[in-house]
Every structure is written in structure tokens, then in C-alpha cells.
Structure 1
Amino acid sequence: MRNWLLPEYIEDVLPAEAARMEHLRRQLLDLFAVHGYQFVIPPLLEYLESLITGVGHDLDLATFKVVDQLTGRLMGVRADTTPQAARIDAHMLNNQGVSRLCYAGSVLRTTPSGLAQTREPLQLGAELFGHAGVESDIEVQRLMVKALKLAGVTQLHLDFSHVGIFRHLVRQAGVNSELEQALYAALQSKDQAEVRNLTAGLDATTSAALCVLTELNGGADVLERAAQVLPATSAIAAALADLRQVAQQLQDLDVNVCFDLAELRGYHYHSGMVFAAYAQGYAGPLALGGRYDEVGSAFGRARPATGFSLDLRGLVTALPPAEIAQAIFAPYDHDPALTAKVDALRAEGQIVIQELPGHESHRNELQCDRQLVKQGDHWEVQAMPS
């Protein structure tokens, strides 16, 4: 038995990649901070009902469960940090106005997911609580774009939808939960024939509206067509108005904005606008987000909420291979001038590696391209001999 093997889809992050991920993590959290998002560190483990109540069946399936040896209660290892942020907002902070929170930490999932196809994503995100208007949706969307551009991602494509349109149509028609789930699945596969078959017993207006959702994808002109072919109800008009505002407000960010009204990602979790970011070189979404006004009700205090998250592991998969930063070599020497020089260089942010006795034959493993050489009574940095 090879006891050094890791479980499937669980892997180490080695020094070069780990250094890049940590550098990016710090940059993104600094970006969030200057936008007013306060950093929180929720626990990795919580009672199960706190982690999955109000967020749909999918998260339940993704969550590892364990029994608490102290209480006998069922606990879960977090598979998503967003519900924890909602709990913190609802009960730990208890703000009456707007709260802005951000986080960065590992989550654990029962099956691999995301761009990195890992069961341990490094999830980083920002959440805004306490504001129900489209302005807060746009704020987190703009922050998401800034974060991805800071990470070096270019030619961004943003895809938007609004789960409220589908929810309004099925609730108005009195559709039961079983049919609602079947329609949801058919829309995700853009299977108009199946949607038509499933809606055969509904009124003609609802059937036609659900069928046409499969065709409503493309640029901002799709929203005008949707206004013409979907029922002229206040709920649908409000959803389309919010999407139009997004199209207008993101124009200055140099991103491609599209709409797909059949996309219902996170339908059992989100309550309004949903969005995803894509880019060339990546096989799936780089970041996901949306409005989830109902999640806080699971903690006894419903609050409007919107936010986004990304997997830092997945984000770096399409970047060029990381390299170990080159260092300055310092010999083993008790010279106080050498110690002072090494300390000064490190204070500047330079990497200085001092050799230990007996390891002279392994200098090539230290990744040094410069060295400290004594010149008279002081030490100077010089290029390593080739």
C-alpha cells in the first residue's frame, strides 16, 4: 500500500503554483478591501442544517458529512462559503444597513467541479447584504470584472440571466414542483421539444413563453425581443429592466455582455439575476454569481443579498506555468556585515537564502541567480557564475 497517495481529485499545490496563488489571493483581498468589503474567516465545519438549509438539494449532495463526537449531531464540511457569509450577516453582525463581506479559503466537495476539476477548490468571493436594487448587483459584477482583470484574464465574456422570469411563469400557471423540476432540466439543455411536451397541459400563453425562453439568447437586443414575446407582467418587465440596466452600466469595462434567459444556474438557490464570467482558454466559467434574497431566511433574518465567487485554483489553470522566484545566495559566515546586508535585502522584499554547512554540493537546488560577495569590508550582490 502506497500511503503517500492522495484521494482522487485531491492534490498538493507545489511551491511555484502555491506562491502565485497566494500572491493573487492577497491582491484580490486588497482589491475587495478598498471597495469596502470586510474580510471574514468562517469555520471549515458547522452543523449540517446551518450549511445547507435554504440553498437547495445540490449543495446537500456536495457536502461531506461527519458526526460530532461531542454532541452526536450531524456536521458538514463547507462546500460553499456563501451560506456562511449569510449567517454571519444575519446573526453575528446584525447590521441594519448594507454589509459587504469577502472571504478566501478552501471548501470541500464530494465530487470534482470547476475548471481545476478538484474536490478542494480555493474559493474566494464577495457578498453584499441589505440592498435589494439592481445597483448592488452591478456593484458586485463590476468588482468581479476588476478581480478577473487583476488576475490577468483578458477578453472577458459575461453571460446574464434572471431566474425570476421562469419562476414567475411557473408560479402564475400553478405548476407543481415535479413539473417545475422537469421544465428546469429541459431548459438547461435547451430542449424546446421537451418543453413543449411538458407544457401541453398548461395554458397557451404560458406554454409559448416557456418554449421561447430556449431561443432568447444573444446580445442586448434579445431583451427587446423578450419584451415582445413574453407576457407583459410587472414581474417580467422588472426583470428585463434590470438586465437592460446591466447592459448599459457595464459598457465601460471592455467586456462582452450576453444574455441567455433559459440559463437557470442555481435556480433553487438564487432569486433574481444570475451571471457567469468566461474567457478564451478556459473550458468553463471563471466566476459565478447572482442574487439570493431568500437564503438569510434560513437563519431567521431574510436580507437582500447578491455576490460572486471564484475558484483560485481554477483561475490559474490557463495561465502560463508558474516558476519559482529566483533568490540571492548568501554563504555561511558569521560576519556581522553579512547579517546586516541579508536583513536589509529581506526588508526590501528580496529572497535571500543562506547556505547551511555541509550542503555545498546542493547549491543548484536553491534557485539562486545572484550571490552576495565580500568586497573589502562590505558585501555586494553579484550575478551567479554560469
Structure 2
Amino acid sequence: MPLPENTGSEELFITCQKSLEPVLYKELETRGFLPVSTGIRGISIKSEGMQTVYRANYLLRTAMRVLWPLSSFSCRDRNDLYENAMKVAWENYVPIDTTFSVQANAANNQNIRNSLFACQVVKDAVCDRLRNIHKKRPFVNTKSPQIIINLFLNAHNGVLSIDTTLEPLSHRNYRRRSGPAPLSETMAAAFLFIAGYKGSEFLCDPCCGSGTILLEAAMMARNIPAGYFRKKWGFMNLPQFKEQEWQQVRKKADSEILEIRGYYTGCEKDRRAYEDCREALAFAGFSGYIKIINAGFENCKLPFPPDLVISNPPHGIRMEDKDSIRGLYNNLGDFLKNKTAKPGHAFIFIEDKGDSRYFGLSPSKKHVLFNSNIECRLLEYELYEGSKRQKQFTVE
């Protein structure tokens, strides 16, 4: 019996990092998706079936996962969870010869306080239902499953979904290696959206590390889909997947890629990070027009004075003490004053909001962003010649 075209919900839930919901909402609208509501770390959108699944997974830059909700239910305890998980027609989504795993986020439930325990309950229900139907136990693989079932449980409200993404969308697949505390691709893309990046600016990252901000900027300027370098997604293992439809979606998106545009340069004094950056640029085909200099920004001779600076300078585990941070940020402030085109803009990401005073400049805005669960600030500066006074900063 053939499967229906649109089993499950008529909505998808697009997840993102904490604090990026407004950025994701705007990206969804820009890409022609229809947001329905904002949830915890994500946005619900209208779904038109698998084509929406394909487009969301391939195009979105600030999203982490595309979840396909199958069941929403009230859940007080283990029995409620098991019974509701048993009601889902898993046979329509998990072929008996594929491997699967369960991922859970359980919080604020008095009787289910452990996400691993919640995973076990759902896994048992899925296995029991499929074994009853197929007379055969399905394969569970927690390390490299073909299908991921997602459970979100907050207080007494539960949602079971199919994760159509598999590896997070932040895994663009252009970066071969990365140094300590790398900036996620989705966060770098968020910086660019917040900066209003158009692709025609003279962009510089004076602390570019493995080049994530510059790579994301080049992809955005050329309208290269976020998933362009990826090879696999979770939806490819679903019974509803149709290769021809997927290739049509991909081909249409790829046909809208633009010619080389934009001006990019970066500075990185660490030799290994510099080599990692060069390797990623070569893999992505960007080596010819993104210039990376293996030197500290204090000593870099830039090919052009940038009118847009976006950077994630070392902080936290990458810096040994406050004196190091103070010196670095003071030098970076001098860089913004003396080596940039005016008027211009700068966006600098810092972990400790109190460290903003070390730059010797007054930010026009302080955007509150979370890196994992750490509250950080993306400082926005308006750069002028002379002593033109800055506007009073605001916190967003």
C-alpha cells in the first residue's frame, strides 16, 4: 500500500540556537517560507510536503534542524510517554531495514527528569510497535543512525518528530578541520544577517581563525545554498523521499547562484588556523578572491581599507587571562579607528559584556546572543572620521 504524500503535521519546526529566533524568522520570510509561530529555539512554518523539507534543509543558513512533527500530546509520566509513542505510525517513517536513534530534550517534568530515560522509553515504544507489525526488531544505532526520532518534552507537553536533517545544518562540509572553540557556521551567518550584509561591502575579519565568517559571507554574496557542499540529509532515508523531486529543488536553487562578487580579507597569526582556513577556502573554490594574511591584524597590510568589519576575536577558553583580553581588545579598537574606511560599521562578538570598555569606542548597539548557553554580546559600532559622537547604545 503506497504511503500518503503528506503524513504527519502540515507544519515543520525549524530549530535554531538560543537567541537566533528573530534572525531565523526574517531569513524564513526572505526565502519565501511561511512562519506560523515562534517557539523555544525555533520557528514553526507551513509545510507543503517534502518539497518544503528539501528547500528548508538545503537553503537555510541560521537553522540547525528541520523537524517534522508527528504527534503532540500531554505527558505526565513514563506510561503517558510510552502509550503516546506507541500510537504513532512509525511503520510509515522507519523502514524495518534502516537504523534509527532517539534524541530527547526533557525539562520541567516532575516524573521524567532525565533525557536519556525519555529516549529509552520512546525507543522501546518504537521497537515494540515495529516488531508487532513486522515480526522483526528494528536496528538501533546511536552513533550513526539513518533516521533520528526527536522528542521534545517541556513540563507536561510532548512532541514527537522525525528529524529530517540528521547532522546539524551548521555542518556545511566545507571545513576540513577547525581549531579550539570554533565559531559555528549558523552563528557566523547570523552575524552577517544582523549586519545587513549585502555582498558588495569591503569585508574584513581581523581575527578570522579558520575563516568561517568569510566563507559564510562569500556563500551569502553569491547566493550559494547553505547545504551546497553537503552530501546527505536524514530525509533521504525516509520512505517519502523522491530522488527526482529532490534533484529538481537542488537544481533550481543552484541555478540562482551568482557570479563572484564582494571583497574579502582576513588576518590570522596562528599558523595552523591559517592553514585550516586556506584549506577550507580551496575546497569551497574561494581561494582566488578571499585574501588571508598569516599575521596578527596589528601588522597586516590590508589590500583595501574595509568598510565592514565582522569578527569573533579570541575569548574564554582561547585566552589565558584578563590582561591578554584587555590588550587584544585595545589593539582591535585601534584597528577599527585607524585601518577602516569611514563611514563604516563593525560587529565584534565578545563573551563578557564588561569587556566592551577595552575597545575605547562606544557601541551604537549591543545585540544579546547566546553561544551554547553562554550569554554574549555582538557589539555594533558606527565608524566615523574625527570625533563625531556616537549615538547612545541600545541593547537588543
TM-score w.r.t. the length of structure 2 is: 0.23
More helix by share: 1
Relative CO higher for 1 or 2, CA cutoff 8 Å, sep ≥ 6?
1
